[in-house]
Amino acid sequence: MRTKIVAGNWKMNKTWSETLQFFNDLKRNSHELPKNVEVIVAPPSLYLSQLTNESQPVILAAQNAHQENKGAFTGEISCSMLKSLNIDYCIIGHSERRMYFNESNELVEKKVKAALANEVSPILCCGETLEEREANTHFDIIESQLSFIKNLSVKEVRNIVIAYEPVWAIGTGKTASSEQAQEIHQFIRNLLSKWHGEELANQIRILYGGSCKPDNALELFNCPDIDGGLIGGASLVPEDFIAIIKSAATAQ
Ligand code: PEP
């Protein structure tokens, strides 16, 4: 039985006072938060150190980190820095990083390895663009984004969370249908099974991301291979985020 995850990716949103307001709202409603869902929020990294005592019961994540532990990389933060603040998760390879910051599959692999080496669990994002889906290359694209996993150890793979995020569904209001999402999630689990065996594949959480909202979350989370969501826009609004968390708690 895999514990569901609902993870909020705030991207470059919210001032510090808006951030405190969000966590206060969440705390005020904490009695509504189900115990059987892991709730994660990835705010801008600037806020992480200040939030380590404020965020309970929410787990904090970073949105990105550099592949090296330290050095002359102005403006960057490392996974060893995250670990030193007890940050347990880091989103890696988000399509916005791939698109706007030219992150290649090779770089994403290095970042995932840096996270694992520092005992930070990567939330590894993959997903095809609209053109790739229309050209029917989406399965190949996803396999190429994830293929380095076959060379990782069992211990490393166990600490990865995968997020399938079709690029055409991110921030567009267009969600993948539950059939489309389940088809890809099952494909990813089959890849994991081919590379590392069925037992390990069945332990890995695979999240769906892309315009996931209170009104479509339950249908998506009810799919057998969807283990929760990576939520952008709707994670900025406490009521919507809580509603999505509740959907994860009631999903089969
Ligand atoms: C995301 O950016 O990871 C995401 C899923 O965004 P949205 O929910 O806004 O589509």
Distance 5 CA to ligand 1 centre (A): 15
- pTM of structure: 0.97
CA distance 128 to 16: 33
Q: Cα 231 to chain center, whole Å? A: 8
Is residue 129 within 8 A of residue 168, CB to CB? The reply is yes
Q: Give the number of residues written for the chain.
A: 252
Residue closest by Cα to atom 7 of ligand 1: 232
Q: Whose CA is nearest to atom 6 of ligand 1?
A: 232
Given the residues 66, 94, 138, 185, the one annotated as active site: 94
Q: Is 94 a catalytic residue?
A: yes
18 is catalytic: no
Confidence check: pLDDT of 76 > 90: yes
- What pLDDT band is residue 174 in, cutting at 50, 70 and 90? confident
Residue 41 Cβ contacting ligand 1 at under 6 Å: no
170 lines ligand 1 (CB under 6 A): yes
For atom 2 of ligand 1, the residue with the nearest CA is: 232
Tokens linked to 15: 């001032």
Average pLDDT, the chain: 96
- Strand pairing partners for 90? 62, 122
Residue 122's closest CA among 163, 181, 81?
163
> What is the model's pLDDT at position 57?
87
